[in-house]
Amino acid sequence: MSGFDPSLLLTVDWPEIGTATLDTLTMLGVSLLFTIVFGLPLGVLLYISAPGQLRARPRLYAVMSFLVNVLRSLPFVILLIVLIPLTLLLVGTSIGVAGAIVPLVVGAIPFFGRLVENVLREVDRGVIEASQSMGAKLPQIVFKVLLPEAMPGLIGAATVTAVALVGYTAMSGVIGGGGLGDLAIRYGYQRFQTEVMIVTVALLLVLVQALQSAGDALVRRCRFG
């Protein structure tokens, strides 16, 4: 590859970059929201149903755990393709921003759910036992003890998931998902416009950095004393 000429940046189609950035942010925001909405209960369910835990259901746990592992072991690209029928059913299209969100969410839920399970396991057993000794019911334990005590860890898990989702959104360019990844593939890779590639990668990097900093700041704010 020849040397990169900075003046080429002037030829970049900036409005299109702008649209792609917005698309990426939309995909990220919406899929992160759904991932948390479904992944958090999944994580709590995994945690409380595990053997020896608050509502141990070893068989249910084994089944859920297996499904989570299956989804996590599938390469995201495969998931993108396998899920096309489901995506069509749910959002009516399998391409573009809307089409990308379903596989993004399906891919990220088990990832986030497992992180949540692990974070909850770090909550001091003594504190849970103390709340049981005070007569706490299961929902009270979950909402007044587990989740608040695990909050810094949960925010950390959400941050890791958001960063992973940025990577997934880039990959969804493969199925014409739109966004920065799509742009990088269409111009940078297929048409050899290196400058577009560089700009999109730089923007993705900024996004990841921003997410991580925001997550870290939130964790710092809610760390306990």
Binding site for another protein (CB under 8 A): 124, 126-127, 129-137, 140, 144-145, 148-149, 151, 224-225
Residue 37's contacts (CB-CB under 8 Å, 6 or more residues apart) are none
In angstroms, what is the minimal distance from the CB of 57 to another protein?
A: 16
Cβ atoms < 10 Å from Cβ of 157: 26
Of the two residues 15 and 135, which places its CB atom closer to another protein in the complex? 135
In angstroms, what is the minimal distance from the CB of 148 to another protein?
A: 4
Per-residue b/e over 11-22, b at no fewer than 16 CB within 10 Å? ebeeeebeebbe
In angstroms, what is the minimal distance from the CB of 134 to another protein?
A: 4
Of the two residues 16 and 124, which places its CB atom closer to another protein in the complex? 124
Of the two residues 73 and 224, which places its CB atom closer to another protein in the complex? 224
Q: Distance of CA 120 to CAs 37, 128, 163, 200, Å?
A: 17, 11, 21, 36
CB 12 within 8 A of CB 196: yes
Q: Name the H helices within the chain.
A: 14-49, 58-73, 76-82, 84-91, 96-121, 125-133, 138-140, 147-149, 151-171, 180-183, 194-222
Of the two residues 55 and 191, which places its CB atom closer to another protein in the complex? 55
Of the two residues 72 and 144, which places its CB atom closer to another protein in the complex? 144
In angstroms, what is the minimal distance from the CB of 15 to another protein?
A: 46
In angstroms, what is the minimal distance from the CB of 142 to another protein?
A: 13
In angstroms, what is the minimal distance from the CB of 219 to another protein?
A: 13
Of the two residues 55 and 72, which places its CB atom closer to another protein in the complex? 55
Distance CA 40, CA 28 (A): 17
